[in-house]
């Protein structure tokens, strides 16, 4: 079987589209289509189902990708580094949510860099869970941190840690909240208060309201900014209520810059997972980073 055909096949499988695969491979779309058809003729089975927007692998396609992708990745690793190169000098391409990656993951990985480490170099990019998983599947990243578990056999996820969410506000807003009414009426006691969030859909506030109050927030976002660190800064400045990861607001809580007006017996949690392409943990630089993050996570919980 022609390795070039397999490489094209794996790229299409990861990209989910002939067009995106062609761009990744530097080929024309007709050339990619022709190679896939050639491979399908050789195997005597269809590998993809054509859809209006991209392609979906058949069962045979998923099985072939699961078997072939790790070996192709290993061959690419050899081709890029050479047999005599020190694999510890490899660059790790990490992707994840901006705040967690910046505050947790990157500091934990720095001990693998530099003179006192093992020579690892890091390149990081930020994105949503969907974006980082798509980039990982397409081969743009080596390791991804996500709050969504991938589907299928091509990507493998390992639980990393749980993130506790806390309702916070500047002291003067917290003083306006009637604790008795909050216990009695739940979210109704918070309806008139402004909210700071990362998106117009209020994802963190909505999740907190659903888990703690069994309701939906009535307010819209007074301040919407796509970075939790900016949300915290706005909450400290008095812009309104916010729901934040405890690790991110713990210092501000300790200093009294914000307070937690409500502490539920069972706080809402969000789970992070480490995701790799199947077979890539055989690569030393990916395995070291993966193990280091899992070890560091035991201190975060």
pLDDT at site 54: 85
Average pLDDT over residues 153-173: 92
Find out whether 226 and 178 touch, Cβ atoms under 8 Å.
Answer: no
C-alpha span between 12 and 6 (Å, rounded): 10
pTM of the predicted model as reported, rounded to 2 decimal places: 0.73
pLDDT at site 77: 63
Higher pLDDT, 134 or 233: 233
Query: By three-state DSSP, how is residue 133 classified?
Result: helix
State the pLDDT confidence band at 84, using cuts at 50, 70 and 90.
very low
C-alpha span between 132 and 294 (Å, rounded): 19
Average pLDDT over residues 247-265: 94
Find out whether 40 and 50 touch, Cβ atoms under 8 Å.
Answer: no
C-alpha span between 297 and 59 (Å, rounded): 36
C-alpha span between 9 and 36 (Å, rounded): 6
Q: What is the pLDDT of residues 11-34, one digit of tens each?
A: 898 888 898 888 878 889 999 999
pLDDT at site 202: 93
C-alpha span between 109 and 297 (Å, rounded): 12
C-alpha span between 42 and 228 (Å, rounded): 51
Number of alpha carbons in the 13 Å side-chain half-sphere of residue 68: 20
Give strand pairing partners of 242.
168
The CA distances from residue 12 to 64, 219, 249, in Å, are 12, 44, 42
Residue 177 has pLDDT above 80, yes or no: yes
């Amino acid at each position: 079987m022609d390795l070039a055909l397999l490489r094209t096949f794996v790229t299409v499988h990861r990209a989910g589209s002939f067009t995106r695969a062609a761009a990744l491979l530097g080929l024309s779309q007709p050339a990619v289509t022709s190679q896939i058809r050639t491979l399908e003729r050789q195997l005597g089975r269809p590998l993809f189902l054509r859809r209006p927007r991209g392609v979906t692998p058949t069962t045979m396609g998923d099985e072939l990708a699961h078997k072939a992708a790790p070996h192709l990745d290993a061959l690419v690793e050899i081709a890029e580094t050479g047999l005599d190169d020190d694999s510890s000098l490899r660059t790790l391409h990490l992707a994840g949510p901006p705040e967690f990656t910046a505050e947790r993951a990157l500091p934990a990985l720095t001990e693998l860099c530099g003179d006192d480490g093992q020579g690892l170099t890091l390149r990081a990019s930020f994105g949503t869970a969907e974006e980082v998983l798509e980039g990982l599947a397409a081969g743009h990243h080596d390791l991804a941190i996500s709050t969504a578990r991938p589907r299928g056999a091509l990507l493998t996820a390992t639980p990393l840690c749980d993130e506790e969410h806390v309702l916070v506000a500047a002291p003067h807003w917290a003083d306006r909240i009637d604790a008795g009414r909050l216990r009695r009426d739940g979210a109704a006691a918070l309806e008139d208060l402004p909210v700071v969030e990362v998106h117009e859909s209020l994802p963190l506030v909505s999740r907190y309201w659903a888990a703690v109050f069994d309701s939906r927030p009535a307010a819209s976002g007074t301040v919407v900014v796509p970075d939790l660190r900016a949300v915290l800064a706005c909450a400290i400045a008095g812009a309104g209520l916010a729901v934040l990861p405890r690790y991110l607001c713990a210092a501000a809580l300790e200093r009294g810059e914000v307070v937690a007006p409500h502490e539920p017996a069972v706080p809402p949690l969000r789970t992070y997972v480490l995701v790799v392409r199947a077979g890539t943990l055989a690569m030393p630089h990916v395995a070291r980073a993966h193990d280091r993050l899992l070890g560091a996570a035991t201190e975060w919980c």
